[in-house]
Amino acid sequence: MSETAREHPAVQKASSGNPRSIMYREALREALLEEMRRDASVFLLGEGIARRGGSYKVTEGLLNEFGPKRVIDTPLAEATFTGAGVGAALTGMRPVVEILFIDFSMLILDQIANQAAKLQFMTNKQCSVPMVLRTQGGAGNGLAAQHSQSLEAIFYHIPGLHLAMPATPYDAKGLMKSAIRSDFPVVFIEHKLLYMTEGEVPEEEYLIPFGEASIKRPGNDLTLVAWSNMLPRSLKAAESLAEEGIDIEVVDPRTLVPLDKKTIVDSVRKTQHLVIVQEAVRRGGVASDIASYVHEEAFDYLDAPIEIVAGLNTPIPYNLSLEKACIPQEVDIIEAVRRALARTV
């Protein structure tokens, strides 16, 4: 278990009251609201997050309660305000910095990769950077090549960063609260198509530790690993396959760094088959790294080669039909499962 996970021993308490269903963006807003009320060192920085409430309305209403010193509208200068966030974190504040599209995070790689990720190590833990970088990625709605990328592999590759990609409102809230309390810099990637999705979220406080995957659907015939917006598509594929008598176990890592390898490997040892689904292009992707871990730790259990379903190695087109063709769909996942089962030794 990661150091972040050990910070939160009371995790995932069941709701004692009536269940309620809220949207993903509302769950994130609740997490920010609760943490800002709990800790005066938490503040928000980003473009259009105060008066407009953010382009995806996650921060709507927070300016009214906390004022312009804690919900700060920034200029269109990502490198500058991200650097300000790093500096504030070094002084003991807990900034939540929002980058509107993950594509724009290419402008802040020095601040994140060369400063935030390395300072704890380089100072022998004499300082830390307790900062959350909120951003959204993925394709959808025809936003074209410069606003539709899935770039998690870049941050996954950088030692010193933690990386969360929640797929449900429940996970989004619990992981955001843990991210804000963490002493590690956290890259928190949301998917633009998930903001309006709904799910059950308890009213009482709960925290989800980093480094603990969630089995969203138990099964015995094949393990399907997916995160972010590929999770709901994988669950739909699993339900379709269930009608054919194929029993799929769906595992959501929830955090890619730290990665819960044990849950994935244990599932593969049980099902003896593995399909990994990522929206990002396959080349240099997280799915390939997960596959390598499974090969190292569970090769003798595999009854068929690992299948990876990923985005095409191309910029995302503006045309909606072409955009859809570039990103894994439910039918692609179903076909990969069938291939894996058909190739059973």
| Angular region, 57: left φ>0, alpha ψ -120 to 50, beta rest | left
Are 337 and 237 within 8 A, CB to CB?
yes
Return the closest-CA partner of residue 254 out of 221, 286, 220. Answer: 286
Active site residue 34: no
Please name the residues in contact with 340: beta carbons below 8 A apart, sequence gap of 6 or more: 222, 273, 274, 275, 304, 305, 306, 307
> How far is the C-alpha of 28 from the C-alpha of 261, rounded, in Å?
26
Strands of 42-46's sheet in order across: 71-73, 42-46, 94-99, 132-137, 186-191, 162-164, 255-257
> How far is the C-alpha of 67 from the C-alpha of 202, rounded, in Å?
27
Which of 78, 212, 249, 323 is catalytic? The answer is 78
Active site residue 147: yes
Going by the DSSP 8-state scheme, the letter that residue 115 receives in this structure is I
Which of 147, 162, 191, 273 is catalytic? The answer is 147
Which residues carry out catalysis? Answer: 78, 147
